[in-house]
A and B are shown apart, each in its own frame.
Chain A
């Protein structure tokens, strides 16, 4: 009995040592917003180059934190790091961190209202009112006015938001802060805010799950999560006055203006963008890549990955409802990659 267990331990230790000779493993963490396309990309990249990029979809907040701590090799976020966070990164690591946009996505208002299977129209004021807790019933005049002819029940609205630090939350609250002075004063924008009302779900996945399960609920998720899980999402009235449905065209239009005025560090907000059919709650999502890599192999692999993702990889984006990056942005990024050392 004793001899057997000693033997077993040796065998496993040997196996562990042997497996340690495996191929390169790069660790990343962050946004759940782009997780469907990232997981596809990493899988394809692995098949073609053998490099293993382990990405854990734990939320933008965790991505920023862990890449700052250095416990992961890169991060990902849909809310760009603010100046304080950039300073903190530099203080902890001695060099800076770069943002690289990868795709364009949209945060859509998804809902589960019994008896309503059509697409509802939401105005900015309505959305702010719902998430502030001021509009509490589905048949409220504010909602009914934009949706004439739809039979809205007199049920209480169940608001669902993120319980974790989220770039999707950043996009959503950034938009609400722009369109509602009340929201800006009372709640503000960030990856984690003090929500006036609602339940918390973990990740885009958790929010989607909660909406599916909870009647009379409304929440915000990235477009593909609503599409893949077949839950209805609404249109949003943009600054030009059109009720726009989030799709490739409307998201691309939102980014069109920004690409001409893209700052060198790529940190830009395109919510409430001008444009007749621009979807107002669109956003870039970024990979957070350190300026300096200690390991040359990891650095080269990451650079190759980013290069591939913003060029060839873009072909996968549209199938998953993410809009491609504008060409000008891609050119800027290819040049900026040389900064990674």
Chain B
């Protein structure tokens, strides 16, 4: 139910025929109006945001059209702008982040939901929620002083020695790059995966587990083959949420990605993401086309996160409606 089920009837039985002004004398109507204005302002703000972004990026749309998305060249002097390198960087760093965060996150969620007694699970969840509260600039600083040297000295050489036959792990490793940014992002999004997955796993009905165990499966088998698939949609939702967060992350990425618009098959190579290029070049974009191209990039990012968030919400709703417990929509 959207509102409380109690609606206080107004005093007069001929309420509808009163004029607006005289209805306004009734305190309830004022309250309704005032709170409506606030609620409407939220909608207005959102519409305004999309509108402003749209009209402030009209020049590149006129000049480049859809080619904007597949052009590699980003040359402010020649006024040629293409988003491909930034889209690539955004997607690659997020993909790396997820490939680290998803296994770790689901594993941790399984532990917290299935194995740990509540006395252990609740405090651990508390700490993991705190991890989500750490500001991104601090992750960036730690990325600069810890992950970058670690990458150069230990991680990259190890990966090259073991998996160097893959083009992903070839080429020089500077410390900054796609992989470093992906690692930092992974740490940032793990809490989201853990907390949502844990909740979804906790809400799987007990009889599912018990049935599996009764049929002779081990603890792990019942978890992995019965419980987790049951919670699949909710877990997918958490992954989309994490992805949306990773795509939009600015500060931590710009401090460790190398800030070079380039597309490379190597994860050690430096790159650029949409959010990072906006942060770096926005205040200096001389010329309307340049500035509007950056705003167009912002619009692209917004669209990506919008779609992902929508998918996440949809999946969460599906989880809830399947009756797998008290899923929160």
Please list the residues of chain A having a beta carbon within 8 angstroms of any beta carbon in chain B: 29, 58-66, 68, 85, 88, 156, 158, 163-165, 188, 190-195, 198-202, 210, 213-215, 217
Q: How many residue pairs, one in A and one in B, have C-beta atoms under 8 Å apart? A: 76
List, sorted by A's number, 22 A–B pairs whose CB atoms are closer than 8 Å: A60-B284, A61-B284, A62-B283, A62-B284, A65-B284, A65-B285, A65-B286, A85-B286, A88-B286, A156-B172, A158-B174, A165-B76, A165-B284, A192-B281, A194-B73, A194-B74, A194-B78, A199-B259, A199-B270, A210-B176, A214-B174, A214-B175
**Besides the known contacts A164-B281, A199-B258, 6 further A-B residue pairs in the complex with CB atoms under 8 A apart:** A58-B284, A61-B286, A65-B285, A165-B286, A199-B260, A199-B270
Measured in the bound complex, the distance between the Cα atoms of B77 and A165 in whole Å is 11
> Inside 8 A of A163's CB, which chain B residues have their CB?
259-260, 280
B148 and chain A: residue at smallest CB distance: A213
Given contacts A156-B172, A192-B77, A213-B148, contact A65 B283 (CB under 8 A): yes
Rounded to whole Å, the gap between the CB of B156 and the closest CB of chain A is 13
> Inside 8 A of B74's CB, which chain A residues have their CB?
194
Q: Is the CB of A193 within 8 A of B77?
A: yes
Measured in the bound complex, the distance between the Cα atoms of B174 and A217 in whole Å is 9
Q: Is the CB of A158 within 8 A of B172?
A: yes
> Inside 8 A of B75's CB, which chain A residues have their CB?
194
B62-95 interface with A by 8 A CB criterion: 73-78
Given contacts A65-B285, A163-B259, A198-B260, contact A213 B175 (CB under 8 A): yes
Decide if the interface of chain B is mainly helix, strand, loop or mixed. Answer: loop
B149: CB under 8 A from chain A? yes
Given contacts A158-B172, A214-B174, contact A202 B280 (CB under 8 A): yes
Rounded to whole Å, the gap between the CB of B185 and the closest CB of chain A is 19
Rounded to whole Å, the gap between the CB of A286 and the closest CB of chain B is 16
Which of A62, A65, A191, A202 touches B259 (beta carbons < 8 Å)? A202
Residue of A63, A64, A66, A199 with most chain B CB atoms under a 10 A cut-off:
A199
Rounded to whole Å, the gap between the CB of A205 and the closest CB of chain B is 13
Q: Is the CB of B174 within 8 A of A199?
A: yes
Rounded to whole Å, the gap between the CB of B153 and the closest CB of chain A is 10
> Inside 8 A of B259's CB, which chain A residues have their CB?
163, 199-202
Give per-residue flags for B160-172: 1 if the beta carbon is below 8 A from chain A beta carbons, else 0: 0000000000001
Measured in the bound complex, the distance between the Cα atoms of B149 and A341 in whole Å is 53
